């Protein structure tokens, strides 16, 4: 088979999000924190119930303070349905999150991403073209009919649509275990993309041995796998990862245990397998927050996830509990960091003037089946 190098045509918004960060008007540069806060508050008050601001946990504090809802992707996806009267959903997150919001939103609702350059390196590790080739090769191997595709919510709308059209679903770190159980009830094998670590860690915790998992490399013919290897596997993992969570190491865990005897280590399931095994607990950002908040006073926690969440949690539970970042250098999600209060102010004041700047619109050809996949996700708990 000739492996195609064709990439689907990108719309204007997609090109902007991948290639460059749009310049802010000069009037929105150099503003003081107090002035921005006052103007954002005034814009929110004027827009009233027409506006909902969603803020992912990994956003910087200067932005998250203005969110109506704070959470992980799963929690924020559910929040959209609570505001059918809202006209504008401003998503302080990254591009794939805003796409999911547009898919789930009502026809009259417009989804705004404050900075179009806020993307996700993990989501970029799975293109529609690569997935189409993968599926064709699975068909040639004679196994595609027994495979249920599952994509992590950290993926493009076009990937979600491909999965939804083929009977699959979307998952988040909050419901990944339940999603794998669901998928194995539908078929013999699961293709899980784009994060290999979330898939491997979740399946292993559910009792699936590592020798029943294989890693599909989308840059190699037939994933660099033999038909026999794929036949033996229950889980086909896509070769992708989170650049933030791959920074965590077993040596970091050993160092924090030596420096803080009795420390409890809790990590996000996007970390590598050996790091997850060396930790005391793992789970989604919501699980991490709940676990630390409900822990006994006097306990010390080392948390392996994005640094903004860790610092915010540390301030919340201090002085009763101590929270440290597992990575002393701090694991910053640089693309999440691109959403600034300046950008938030710019898009809100644009709405006041009748301009929906940075609107995210998923093409109808993708929206139909992506919505099916996301609706399946929302029923799996």
**What pairing do the DSSP bridges indicate for beta strands 264-267 and 213-216?**
unpaired
Domain shared by 211 and 232, yes or no: yes
Q: What is the pLDDT of residue 148?
A: 98
**Phi and psi (nearest 5°) for 318?**
-70, 150
Q: What is the pLDDT of residue 230?
A: 98
Count structural domains, the chain: 3
What angle, 0 to 180 degrees and rounded to 10, lies between the N-to-C axes of helices 33-47 and 341-352?
40
Domain shared by 104 and 179, yes or no: no
CA distances from 296 to 210, 299, 376 (A): 35, 6, 37
Q: What is the pLDDT of residue 336?
A: 58
Span 89-107, pLDDT tens digits: 999 988 888 898 898 899 9
Contact indicator for 195, 155 with CB cutoff of 8 Å: no
Domain shared by 138 and 113, yes or no: no
Contact indicator for 102, 361 with CB cutoff of 8 Å: yes
Specify if 3 maps to a domain. no
Domain shared by 300 and 357, yes or no: no
Q: Domain with 307 in it: what CATH number?
A: 3.40.50.10800
Please name the helix (run of DSSP H) or strand (run of DSSP E) that holds residue 186, with its range, or none. Answer: helix 176-186
Domain shared by 128 and 113, yes or no: no
Q: What is the pLDDT of residue 21?
A: 60
Domain shared by 47 and 83, yes or no: yes
Specify if 264 maps to a domain. yes
Domain shared by 99 and 144, yes or no: no
Domain shared by 111 and 144, yes or no: no
Of 181, 213, 238, the position where a domain reaches its end is 238
Of 217, 238, 259, the position where a domain reaches its end is 238
Specify if 377 maps to a domain. no
Q: Which has the closest alpha carbon to 313: 67, 76, 321?
A: 321
Cα separation, 116 vs 339, in Å, equals 9
Specify if 43 maps to a domain. yes
Domain shared by 18 and 108, yes or no: yes
Which residues in the chain show pLDDT less than 70? 1-21, 74, 330-337
Residue 106, C-beta contacts closer than 8 angstroms, at least 6 positions apart: 84
Domain shared by 76 and 127, yes or no: no
Specify if 244 maps to a domain. no
Domain shared by 114 and 136, yes or no: no
Specify if 200 maps to a domain. yes
Quote the domain boundaries for residue 23: 12-118+336-363
- Edge to edge, the sheet with strand 69-71 lists 69-71, 51-56, 88-92, 110-112, 359-360
Question: What DSSP assignment string belongs to 102-140?
Answer: HHHS-TT-EEE-S-TT---TTGGGS-HHHHHHHHHHHHH
Specify if 243 maps to a domain. no
Domain shared by 111 and 82, yes or no: yes
Specify if 23 maps to a domain. yes
Span 263-275, pLDDT tens digits: 999 999 999 999 9
Of 212, 238, 264, the position where a domain reaches its end is 238
Q: What is the pLDDT of residue 2?
A: 31
């Amino acid at each position: 088979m000739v492996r195609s190098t064709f990439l689907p045509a990108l719309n204007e918004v997609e090109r902007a999000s991948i290639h460059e960060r749009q310049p802010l008007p000069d009037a929105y540069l150099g503003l003081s924190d107090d002035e921005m806060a006052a103007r954002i508050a005034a814009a929110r008050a004027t827009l009233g119930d027409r506006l909902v601001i969603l803020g992912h946990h990994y956003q910087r504090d200067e932005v998250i303070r203005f969110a109506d809802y704070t959470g992980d992707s799963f929690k924020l996806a559910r929040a959209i349905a609570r505001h059918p009267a809202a006209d504008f959903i401003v998503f302080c997150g990254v591009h794939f999150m805003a796409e999911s919001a547009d898919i789930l939103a009502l026809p009259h609702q417009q989804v705004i991403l404050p900075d179009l350059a806020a993307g996700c390196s993990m989501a970029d590790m799975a293109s529609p073209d690569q997935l189409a080739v993968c599926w064709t090769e699975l068909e040639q191997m004679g196994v595609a009919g027994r495979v249920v595709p599952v994509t992590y919510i950290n993926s493009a709308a076009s990937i979600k649509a491909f999965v939804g059209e083929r009977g699959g679903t979307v998952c988040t770190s909050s419901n990944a275990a339940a999603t794998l159980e669901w998928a194995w009830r539908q078929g013999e094998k699961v293709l899980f993309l784009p994060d290999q670590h979330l898939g491997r860690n979740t399946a292993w915790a559910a009792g699936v041995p590592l020798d029943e998992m294989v890693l599909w490399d989308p840059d190699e013919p037939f994933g660099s796998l033999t038909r026999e290897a794929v036949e033996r596997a229950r889980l086909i993992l896509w070769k992708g990862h989170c650049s933030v969570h791959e920074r965590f190491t077993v040596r970091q865990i050993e160092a924090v245990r030596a420096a803080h005897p009795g420390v409890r280590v809790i990590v996000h399931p996007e970390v590598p397998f050996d790091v997850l095994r060396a930790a005391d607990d793992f789970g989604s950002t919501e699980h991490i927050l709940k676990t630390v908040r409900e822990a006994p006073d006097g306990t010390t926690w080392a948390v392996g996830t994005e640094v903004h969440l860790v610092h915010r949690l540390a301030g919340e539970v201090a002085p009763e509990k101590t929270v440290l970042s597992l990575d002393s250098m701090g694991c910053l999600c640089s693309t999440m960091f691109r959403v600034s209060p300046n950008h938030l102010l710019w898009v809100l004041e644009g709405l006041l003037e009748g301009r929906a700047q940075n609107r995210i619109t998923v093409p109808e050809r993708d929206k139909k089946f992506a919505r099916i996949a996301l609706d399946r996700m929302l029923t799996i708990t």
